[in-house]
Amino acid sequence: MTGTELDPRREPWRTRVRAAWLTASIGVICVLAFVGTVAGCAWTSTSPGRTAIESLYGLSSCRATMEAAGALAVGRVWVDGEWWRIATTGFLHGSWLHLILNVWSLWSVGEWAERTWGAARTGALFAAGCLGGALGSLAWAEAPVVVGASAGILGLAGALLVARLFGDPATREKLAAVSPIGLGVTLAVLFAIGAIVPVIAQAGHVGGLIAGACAAWAGMQRGFLRGASTLVFAVATNEVVHIAARPDARAHYHEFVGFRWIDLDNQAEALPHLERALELAPGDPAVSNAVAYGLALAGQDLDRADVLVDAALADEPDNVNYLDTKGWIACRRGDAAAGLALLERARDGAEIPVQEIEDHLVDCPAAGPSTP
């Protein structure tokens, strides 16, 4: 029997879905979870229509809803101990574009995996990829909130690549229609794009790919090698968990922890973390802006906050995030006129509506220091 004869793409769709029911089910769960997230956000929004439009390219105004649904909010993991988010974040997505690309990619690799190994092993490989991706995002502290099935998908892709190249003859025969060169090039392009596009969780992708590839390699071994490979994989995972639990050398770790403590109205815990972030990345305008914004939210040391955001603006004078911070500092000082002017400039410069800027425009007049 040739690889072409084993190619499931030649079969009717109904047959293909029945043969890869777990992959199809994961895709359906992702779609339902996203629709529920958009509906929940629209329900609590003052502008449901705007939320619906925003869902096409990014739910920036729906962070609270996404966190409630189970997104990997890293600050909540580190401060509140909400490690359960690792199990839920892979089913959530940030936009229709994100969802469609991931569901299509999931089917592209998941169907092959499920036909080759069955539902149970495919599910385990997807879970391993999701776990590796979440731990990678935590260890690298790459973003305050991470969502998406990409890590699990890359876990399956890594497993397929390993099996296609190094699997036993029966497995390689089942995967004969899968080009290892094509799959490798696709992965290389994906990671190249991730290195350029800042919103892509690159560390999560790397973690998912490595976890899936290592899990597949361990599963292919026999006897002593299988036990030894599994032990090494478990020890390595344990080490990554320890790093992910407190990536103290990463400036963004302290930044995100600081903001979480501010959310909990605990400035005493927040400010040392923000200061530590600045120590680790003293010349980074994004970190300077983040610390300035944290000080503004806390209503403390506004003079220093001004100095920090001015340094960031000197590097990027038209950055809307920095302008928003500068405006909010003025609002917190009680200078509503200057604050509103800066916030309006930030709003006008944004490519898409930013809910946080809109909220600041509304709250600015009453944001100044209270009087007895």
Domain spans, the chain: 8-245, 251-366
Write out pLDDT tens, residues 101-130. 999 999 999 999 999 999 999 999 999 999
Domains 8-245 and 251-366 share a fold: no
The model's pTM: 0.89
Mean pLDDT of 16-25: 94
Is residue 106 within 8 A of residue 29, CB to CB? The reply is no
Query: For residue 191, what are the contacts with CB-CB under 8 A and spacing of at least 6?
Result: 202, 205, 206
Strands (DSSP E) along the chain, which ranges? 72-73, 145-146
How far apart CA 338 and CA 347 sit, in angstroms, is 14
Mean pLDDT taken over the chain: 92
The pLDDT of residue 258 is 93
Write out pLDDT tens, residues 194-221. 888 778 899 999 999 999 999 999 999 9
Mean pLDDT of 165-181: 92
Helix ranges (H only) for 202-283 are 202-220, 223-245, 251-263, 267-280
The pLDDT of residue 61 is 81
Q: Which of 121, 88, 91 is nearest to 22 (CA)?
A: 121
Question: Does residue 50 register a pLDDT over 90?
Answer: no
Other C-beta atoms closer than 10 Å to the C-beta of 1 total 8
Check if CATH label 1.20.1540.10 holds for domain 8-245.
yes
Fold of 251-366: 1.25.40
